[in-house]
Amino acid sequence: AQRVTQPEKLLSVFKGAPVELKCNYSYSGSPELFWYVQYSRQRLQLLLRHISRESIKGFTADLNKGETSFHLKKPFAQEEDSAMYYCALRQGTYKYIFGTGTRLKVLA
């Protein structure tokens, strides 16, 4: 079955420390993967997608087909990065499967 797994419910790091939010997927086809973020009192919004190979707010994510992973990384965490992060997989043309989310807390 198609699945997105985010093993950590909560991740706490100190400001300036590296961050890695884990995402593993199970998908029989060629995956299209995304990271969405929800800051406090804001709407859920797209952070980045693997196909764009972009860096947004210092975050990057590399698709590793061998390990079926799409981990989100940032070398130096900032307090404003504190938020809920969701990994998502597009299944087919229209459907999306989201993980259970990881709450990132960046401590001063």
Partner 1 sequence: SQTIHQWPATLVQPVGSPLSLECTVEGTSNPNLYWYRQAAGRGLQLLFYSVGIGQISSEVPQNLSASRPQDRQFILSSKKLLLSDSGFYLCAWRGTLTDTQYFGPGTRLTVL
Based on the shown chain and the rule CB under 8 A, indicate whether residue 99 belongs to the binding site for partner 1: yes
Q: Which of 17, 46, 75, 80 binds partner 1 (CB under 8 A)?
A: 46
Give the separation between CA 98 and CA 87, rounded to whole angstroms: 6
Helices and strands of the chain, counted as H and E runs = 0, 11
Residues β-bridged to residue 107? 14
- Specify burial of residue 60 (Cβ count, 10 A radius: 0-12, 13-18, 19+): middle
Window 17 to 36, contacts with partner 1 (CB under 8 A): 32, 34, 36
Residue 21 Cβ, how far from partner 1 at the closest point, in Å?
Answer: 13
Select from 22-30, 59-67, 75-83, 97-105 the region that touches partner 1 (CB under 8 A): 97-105
Residue in the block written with tokens 């043309």:
93
* Binding footprint of partner 1 on the chain (CB under 8 A): 6, 9, 32, 34, 36, 43-46, 49, 51, 86, 88, 90, 94-101
